[in-house]
């Protein structure tokens, strides 16, 4: 079941188009990553999906309803974690949590229990009496995440949660998202770190206000390269690689050949095939006379995937 | 050198940062100038005409006098009409429906006939020890003008019930006859006594005429009579000199004949002169009695206490509330709230409750400090005071919310709050009475919550009464308009 759905979504500001016909679908319980460079329109798309902005054109539905017309009960089903810290520096961690829990209508008894649970979840329970101004940047993000999940929303919109964080903290956030996803929450997350797309169940690549590709990370790779990629390392004189190319083209599509000269002269050839499991025996068959040092199924980085998909547009 | 470069970099950055905010600059420059220009155009302490009603008995002599000199009343006041009941007129005064009640004496002639001045009573209701003298000043001007006009118009002629000047002249003639009859023995003691009495009588008449002349220097009758009297005294002086020198009787008789002729003329001209009443009564038949009905006349500190509180309440509330929305919007919290179940109305009400409590509590504390430290008296109850403070606070908070909803930055919001504070000093009645302001300042006045609030606080603290309905309704309407406008401006962003 689609929790979030957009069709032909367009949004303009002062005649300037930011979103130019976005189609998107997010299923229940998945982590959907909206990936794209700065200025691609990620925040605008998220604001439109949360109902903060009204689309210029197109349709948006969240839980089957127009989020711009959500009532308070509808809004309790979701939450939003903004990119920057928007809670109050002058309040303690617990008071900030109390405030947010109050916004979502949690009654006092339940509120205390949930605040304890979520602060422990984000590892801020010990710091609950500290004022927010005394927290580090990473702790503030975690406090913001705790505030976003305190009322147990079914859908969480998270805007660039890992921007400017160190890799360890970034990883920790994704671990927490995975745990939340395991609890059945749907997470819609934007990130400019293309590598984080790998950590999503499904990914939408946003470029110039358009979703240029959407699917699982694997599907996107396949779409970017036309299939799975095998990297072959052949020993011997790199000049002889050409002798095998014709045979390899029968199995798949050679997309890259790199030659390494010197004492351990070798060549690296990348071959895109429909299915690596099926193709590999055939590869070894056609290269039986060659000095095959390795044949690996490789996963190109999402930077490369994104680059190829954008170039394809 | 490096230091200079760094300073130059900072200065250039500040310049360009300010230059990129033309609205803020305009506000900084135009705001104070506009306030001063409006004030200069609108303030003229001398032009204010107090509203006034006249109370006069129907078909009385007082009503005739009022009608006869109506212009003197209407030129000095914003004349509202004639009433018959002093109590009803005073009630208007207490309800601030008029500024002055002028009570005409019903039978002024009767009082003057008794050699007493008739009393023109003026009631007013003002607690301002600095600027509250407009009505008494105007009343003084009115009474001077009325007295002059009454004398000029010869109203005193109608008051003839006492010894007329005509009689005095006739007495003089008798005395002259006596002089003539005793001409042969003019040097006798009796003759000398007679001329001395005559001189004395003429001296009295001259003094009376001189007083009349001072009061009405344009009256030709009085001037002519005065001249004749002086001539007569000169002639009589010659007669008395002759008595002293023992001149012959022909000369003396000729002298008295000339004197008789002169007195005949005087007699003729003085026929139109006022009655012989005391000079003070004759020159000022009306006497002014001014009565301030204000229940309490504070000193300057006491008078300015409610104004200061009013201004303080507006400033604190407006400043706090003006940051309320713009700060949330700039921090991103507003978007966070928009996505949450929290409605814009709930956000406003939540902030409103805290600000209201805070502002009222702080200002009640200030009021109590004024009472205990400066011995400022509060005529109304503390409950009444808290209620009015709450109304003014609520209105100022609502105005602050509206300002916050339209402000683009916190600096802009604070800047407008400061301008409102300065403007209130001039236009809210804090320093200068509103009645002495004209357009366009009056228009500005009613855009300031403090205008209603200061008046309301004065009513409570200085008069011990509930504020005027106009001010209560003004605050309520202002509150609702600002709150609704702020709420509408805070609605979700539409499609661009």
- In this structure, is the dihedral angle defined by the CA atoms of residues A178, A39, A76 and A24, taken in order, positive or negative? negative
CA separation for the pair B79, B53 (Å, rounded): 6
> Would you state the structure tokens that stand for residue A95, as one six-digit string?
């008071």
In angstroms, the separation between the Cα of residue B9 and the nearest Cα of chain A is 28
- List, in order, residues 6 or more apart from A94 with CB less than 8 Å away: A115, A119, A128, A129
Check if B342 contacts A (Cβ < 8 Å): yes
Residue B452 confidence (pLDDT) above 90: yes
Q: Residue A268: CA atoms inside 13 Å, Cβ hemisphere, count?
A: 11
Q: Residue B216: CA atoms inside 13 Å, Cβ hemisphere, count?
A: 28
Residue B159 confidence (pLDDT) above 50: no
What's the longest Cα–Cα distance across chain B? 127
In angstroms, the separation between the Cα of residue B341 and the nearest Cα of chain A is 4
In angstroms, the separation between the Cα of residue B351 and the nearest Cα of chain A is 13
Residue, of B74 and A261, whose pLDDT is higher: B74
Mutation choice for B interface testing from A75, A78, A188 by most B CBs within 10 A: A75
In angstroms, the separation between the Cα of residue A52 and the nearest Cα of chain B is 6
- In this structure, is the dihedral angle defined by the CA atoms of residues B421, B424, B426 and B432, taken in order, positive or negative? negative
Distance from the Cα of residue B356 to its chain's centroid: 37
ω into residue A189 within 30 of 0, thus cis? no
Residue, of B243 and A28, whose pLDDT is higher: A28
CA separation for the pair A33, A194 (Å, rounded): 10
Which chain A residues have any C-beta within 8 angstroms of a chain B C-beta?
11-14, 47, 50-56, 68, 72-73, 75-76, 78-80, 82-84, 86-87, 103-105, 157
pLDDT, average across residues A14-18: 87
Which of B274-283, B406-415, B472-481 is the most confident on average?
A: B472-481
Cβ–Cβ below 8 Å for A13 and B338: no
- In this structure, is the dihedral angle defined by the CA atoms of residues A204, A207, A213 and A217, taken in order, positive or negative? negative
Give the Å distances, CA to CA, from B324 to A80, B490, B493: 22, 12, 18
- List, in order, residues 6 or more apart from B213 with CB less than 8 Å away: B219, B222, B223, B226
Entry pTM: 0.69
The dihedrals phi and psi of A255, each to the nearest 5 degrees, come to -110, -15
pLDDT, average across residues B202-228: 70
The interaxial angle of helices A137-149 and A93-103, nearest 10 deg, is 30
- Number of Cβ within a 10 Å radius of residue A230: 21
pLDDT, average across residues B123-136: 79
> Would you state the structure tokens that stand for residue A26, as one six-digit string?
């997010």
Determine the pLDDT at residue B250: 44
pLDDT band at residue B217 using 50, 70 and 90 as cut-offs:
low
Residue B51 confidence (pLDDT) above 80: yes
Residue B308 confidence (pLDDT) above 70: yes
pLDDT in tens, B87-128: 888 888 888 888 888 888 888 777 776 777 778 888 888 877
Q: Residue B429: CA atoms inside 13 Å, Cβ hemisphere, count?
A: 27
pLDDT, average across residues A234-256: 78
For B300, counting Cβ atoms within 10 Å of its Cβ (0-12 exposed, 13-18 middle, 19+ buried), the class is: exposed
Cβ–Cβ below 8 Å for B496 and A13: yes
pLDDT band at residue B156 using 50, 70 and 90 as cut-offs:
very low
CA separation for the pair B229, B206 (Å, rounded): 6
């Amino acid at each position: 079941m689609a929790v979030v759905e957009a069709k032909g979504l367009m949004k303009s500001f002062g005649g300037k188009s930011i979103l130019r016909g976005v189609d998107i679908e997010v299923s229940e319980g998945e982590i959907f990553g909206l990936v794209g460079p700065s200025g691609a329109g990620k925040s605008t798309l998220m604001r439109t999906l949360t109902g903060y902005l009204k689309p210029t054109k197109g349709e948006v539905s969240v839980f089957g309803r127009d989020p711009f017309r959500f009532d308070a009960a509808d809004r309790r089903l979701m939450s939003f974690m903004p990119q920057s810290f928007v809670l109050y520096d002058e309040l303690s961690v617990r008071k900030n949590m109390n405030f947010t829990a109050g916004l979502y209508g949690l009654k006092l008894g339940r509120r205390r229990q949930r605040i304890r649970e979520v602060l422990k979840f984000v590892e801020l329970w010990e710091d609950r009496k500290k004022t927010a101004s005394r927290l580090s940047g990473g702790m503030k993000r975690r406090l913001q995440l705790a505030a976003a999940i305190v009322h147990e929303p079914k859908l969480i919109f998270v805007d660039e949660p890992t921007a400017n964080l160190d890799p360890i903290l970034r990883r920790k956030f994704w671990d927490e998202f995975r745990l939340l996803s395991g609890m059945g929450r749907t997470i819609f997350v934007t990130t400019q770190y293309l590598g984080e797309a790998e950590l999503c169940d499904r990914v939408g690549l946003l470029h110039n206000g358009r979703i240029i590709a959407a699917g699982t990370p694997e599907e996107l790779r396949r779409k970017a390269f036309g299939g799975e990629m095998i990297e072959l390392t052949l020993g011997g004189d790199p000049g002889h690689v050409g002798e095998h190319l014709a045979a390899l083209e029968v199995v798949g599509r050679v997309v890259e050949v790199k030659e390494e000269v010197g004492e351990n002269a070798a060549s690296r050839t990348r071959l895109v095939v429909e299915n690596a499991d099926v193709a590999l025996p055939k590869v070894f068959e056609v290269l039986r006379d060659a000095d095959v040092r390795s044949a690996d199924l490789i996963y190109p980085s999402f930077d490369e995937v994104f680059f190829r998909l954008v170039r394809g547009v | 050198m490096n230091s200079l470069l760094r300073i130059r970099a900072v200065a250039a950055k500040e310049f360009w940062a300010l230059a990129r905010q033309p609205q803020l600059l305009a506000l900084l420059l135009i705001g104070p100038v506009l306030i001063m220009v409006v004030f200069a155009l609108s303030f003229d302490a001398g032009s204010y005409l107090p509203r006034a009603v006249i109370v006069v008995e129907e078909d009385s002599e007082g009503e005739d006098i009022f009608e006869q000199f109506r212009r003197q009343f209407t030129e000095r006041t914003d004349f509202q009409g004639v009433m018959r009941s002093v109590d009803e007129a005073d009630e208007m005064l207490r309800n601030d429906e008029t500024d002055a009640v002028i009570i005409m004496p019903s039978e002024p002639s009767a009082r003057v006939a008794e050699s007493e001045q008739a009393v023109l009573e003026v009631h007013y209701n003002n607690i301002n020890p600095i600027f509250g003298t407009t009505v008494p000043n105007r009343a003084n001007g009115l009474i001077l003008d009325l007295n002059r006009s009454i004398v000029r118009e010869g109203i005193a002629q109608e008051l003839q019930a006492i010894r007329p000047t005509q009689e005095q002249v006739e007495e003089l003639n008798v005395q002259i006859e006596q002089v003539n009859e005793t001409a042969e023995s003019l040097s006798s003691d009796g003759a000398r006594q007679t001329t001395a009495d005559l001189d004395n009588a003429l001296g009295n008449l001259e003094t009376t005429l001189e007083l009349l002349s001072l009061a009405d220097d344009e009256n030709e009758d009085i001037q002519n009579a005065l001249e004749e009297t002086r001539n007569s005294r000169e002639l009589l002086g010659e007669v008395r000199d002759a008595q002293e020198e023992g001149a012959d009787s022909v000369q003396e008789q000729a002298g008295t004949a000339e004197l008789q002729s002169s007195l005949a003329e005087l007699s003729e001209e003085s026929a139109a002169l006022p009655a012989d009443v005391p000079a003070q009564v004759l020159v000022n038949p009306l006497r002014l009695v001014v009565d301030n009905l204000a229940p309490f006349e504070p000193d300057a500190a006491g008078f300015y206490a409610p104004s200061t509180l009013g201004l303080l309440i507006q400033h604190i509330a407006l400043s706090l509330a003006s940051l309320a929305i713009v700060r949330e919007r700039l921090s991103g919290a507003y978007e966070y709230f928009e996505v949450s179940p929290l409605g814009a109305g709930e956000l406003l009400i939540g902030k409103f409750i805290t600000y209201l409590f805070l502002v009222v509590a702080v200002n009640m504390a200030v009021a109590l400090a004024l009472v205990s430290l400066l011995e400022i008296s509060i005529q109304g109850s503390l409950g009444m005071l808290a209620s009015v403070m709450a109304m003014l606070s609520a209105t100022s908070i609502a105005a602050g919310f509206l300002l916050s909803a339209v402000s683009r930055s916190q600096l802009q919001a604070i800047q407008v709050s400061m301008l409102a504070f300065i403007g209130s000093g001039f236009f809210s009645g804090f320093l200068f009475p509103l009645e002495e302001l004209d357009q366009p300042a009056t228009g500005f006045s009613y855009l300031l919550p403090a205008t209603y609030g200061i008046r309301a606080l004065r009513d409570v603290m200085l008069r011990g009464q509930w504020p005027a309905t106009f001010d209560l309704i003004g605050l309520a309407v202002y509150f609702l308009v600002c709150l609704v406008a702020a709420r509408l401006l805070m609605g979700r962003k539409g499609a661009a």
